[in-house]
Structure 1
């Protein structure tokens, strides 16, 4: 089973690289504003998780350079468990101006949130 997951994971990454979406173009000042807003966000993910790939592809298409955090690393996994309460990916960590942190799970919810906020 581990070998099948490894092969499928590498296949997903290969297909993602081949069929990578083109980023949305926007004015430089708009992109800088978006980049600054994204500094308060991080996507906890596994590299070969299909749902994580889905979120990364959507972010790339919207030209949103999200920070990605490998949730398999022990420190990152613990931060995910402590903050979000689950070891589930993808998970978007959102910190607002007052320092309050929200942990958003589910790829479709994350994509919908990013579309609503940045497009």
Structure 2
């Protein structure tokens, strides 16, 4: 099973690299505001997880640069996800607004959030 996951993960990453979506183009002032807003978010993810790839592609389509945190290989990020987010499940978007932190799970919910927030 581990071998199958490893091979499928490589196939997913290769297809993502070959068919990477184009981001939208904004004027520099608008993009600067988007970048400032995105600095308050972090995506906890596994590199080869298909649902994480889905979210990363949505970020790229919207030209949003959110910090990616590898919860599979980085012990600190994995522990943060478990202790602060409540469970080790990816993808998970950490949203910090006005001193309040919210943890958003489920790729469809994260993609919808990105599409709403980063217009």
| Same-fold status (TM-score > 0.5) | yes
User: Secondary structure at 2:104's aligned position in 1?
Assistant: strand
Q: CA deviation at 1:64?
A: 0.5
TM-score (structure 1 length as normaliser):
0.97
TM-score (structure 2 length as normaliser):
0.97
What are the residue-to-residue correspondences of 1:38-57 with 2, within 5 Å? 38-57=38-57
Q: CA deviation at 1:84?
A: 0.8
What are the residue-to-residue correspondences of 1:1-119 with 2, within 5 Å? 1-72=1-72, 73-96=74-97, 98-119=98-119
Cα distance in 1 for partners of 2:39, 2:65 equals 9
Structure 1: any 5+ residue segments left out of the alignment? none
Cα distance in 2 for partners of 1:37, 1:110 equals 15
Q: CA deviation at 1:99?
A: 1.0
Moved over 6 A (4+): none
Structure 2: any 5+ residue segments left out of the alignment? none
Cα distance in 2 for partners of 1:48, 1:29 equals 34
Q: How many residues align?
A: 118
